[in-house]
Each structure stands twice: as C-alpha cells, then as structure tokens.
Amino acid sequence: MTIGIIGAGNMGGAVAKGLAAAGNIAAQDIFVSDIAADNLRRLQSEFPQLNCREDNTAAARCDVVVVAVKPWLVEMILTEIAPLMEAKQTLIVIAAGVSFEQIFAWLPEQLQDMPCLRLIPNTAIAVGQSMSLFSTTNVGNELQEQILSLFRPLGEVAVIPESKMSAGTALTSCGTAYALRFVRAAVEAAVEMGFRPEEATRMVAQTMKGAAELLLQHGSHPEQEIDKVTTPGGITIKGLNAMEAAGFSNAVIEGIKASQCVSSSK
C-alpha cells in the first residue's frame, strides 16, 4: 500500500511523522507534497526515506490519498488532483467543517463512488498519542478496518457519525490546546511558588499524563478519581473550590461549545 499526504504543515506533517515512526508502512511508501519546501526539508531531515515533492502528482496517485490542508483550500486541491485519481483509490480528508457533501460536490462524476473518510486527529499523532476521529462513506468493513489499523499505532481511534464530527473536533483536536493551556497556567502558579519553569512543566505534564491513564486504565468517571484525593477539610478540595469560584468548569464547557460553533460554520 502507498499513502500520499498532500500538505506537510502541522497536521499533515504530524501524520507523516506518525506513520513513518510507527513502521507499519514503509517510509518509502509514503509520498508527501507541499508547496513549502521548508516543511518538506524538516520532514525529510527526520525521515530521509520519505518521498517528498513540491507538486501533488505522486501523492495523488497513491492507494490512499490524504488531503491535509486548511478547510478553504480543500476545494482547490481536490479540483487539481481529481483528473489524476481513480475510484478504486481511498480519499481521506483532514479539514474541520468540510462535509462529505462538499467533498463530492468538488469531485467529478467518475469519483462519486470513491471510498472517502473524514479524519480529525490531533497533533499528538506525531508521537503516537492521537485521539483520531473518523467518519466514513462508501467504505466497506474490510477497508475501514485496514485504514483504522494504519492509525491505531498512532493513538486511539474512533468511528463516529458525521453529524458528531464538529463536536468531536472541538473536544479532541481543539482539546489539545485546552489541556496545554491548563499546563501553562499551572506552570505559572508553580513559578510564583518558587519552581523553575522547565522543572514545573515536567511535573505538571507527568501529572496530567498520570491522571489520563487513571481514567483510561480504570474506565472510571473523573469524579471517582477526584474523590480519592479530596480528603475532607484537605488542601485539594480547597483548591478545587477556589477554581470553581473562578469559573473553571464553566470556562471549559463554554470554550468547547464555542469551538464547535466555529468549526461547524467553516
């Protein structure tokens, strides 16, 4: 199998790195294209065997074609590469808010039966820890499993209805930034309390990683794990109550809902 990735920016580059690092597909079978030569040079410095080109021709002829560009560029890219493609190929589009209806409106009649997936990973795909969301159309069970198997080594995968893709994007793709904003705030507090920034960052990041693993491994509700560290009259509950008084939970809820509104309007 060959994979073509059109777009080597933050997301396309992360997908290319993740696939190459996972090793379930040979790096020489991954074709990456981008008009920005610097993006390609950075990729190839880490994975010299990647096939990097400034034009989209080779990527568009691969078995699986991944379009990883800004939403407003998807139409231009699909229009450009459609004459090079065949219905037997598989198309994956990574672009928030771009629906299957739009995608197929930009493809010619001979590609209307093409297997197509919408994919929203997050940038942690570059280190094998993404939460990748898929929606599918014209995709049989065997092909779906084949595609998912490519991405499982890069983190968790889930197939969801397209109607939930906007909400999922806000939760998991935008969610990386929200989690990191918490880290930044915690580090700022740590610096005020006397820690060096690099020391505090490592401590907070590991604490977040551990908290996530408790949920993933125990299958528990967050409040169950919170209860284990909130001793009556203790310091943890005082901190939680102070955060709530400052609007912590409401800020998170409203931020995620705002992201859904933005992504659904693109």
Asked if pLDDT for residue 33 goes beyond 80, the answer is: yes
For each of the domains in the chain, give its residue range(s) and CATH number, in order of start.
3-160 (3.40.50.720), 169-264 (1.10.3730.10)
> Can you give the pLDDT at residue 260?
85
Residue 264: pLDDT over 80: no
Q: Tell me what pLDDT residue 230 has.
A: 95
The answer on pLDDT for 265 being more than 70 is no
* pLDDT on residue 7: 96
Q: Give residue-wise pLDDT tens across range 84-109.
A: 999 999 999 999 999 999 999 999 99
Q: Taking residues 53-77, what's their average pLDDT?
A: 96
- CB-based contacts of 6: which residues, under 8 Å, 6+ apart? 12, 33, 34, 56, 59, 60, 65, 66, 67, 68, 69, 77, 81
Residue 262 confidence (pLDDT): 57
Q: Which residue(s) pair with 137 in the sheet?
A: 116
pLDDT computed for residue 52 by the predictor = 96
Can you tell me the distance from the alpha carbon of 262 to that of 266, in angstroms, rounded to the nearest whole number?
7
pLDDT of residue 132: 96
Of residues 192 and 127, the one with the higher pLDDT is 192
- Residue 261 banded pLDDT, cuts 50, 70, 90: low
State yes or no: pLDDT of 147 exceeds 80: yes
pLDDT tens, residue by residue, 4-14: 999 999 899 98
If pLDDT is split at 50, 70 and 90, which confidence band does 126 have? confident
Q: What is the pLDDT of residue 266?
A: 40
pLDDT value for 24: 85
Binning pLDDT at 50, 70 and 90, where does residue 263 land?
low
Q: Residue 114: is its pLDDT beyond 80?
A: yes
Flag whether pLDDT at 218 surpasses 60.
yes
Residue 41 bridge partners (DSSP): none
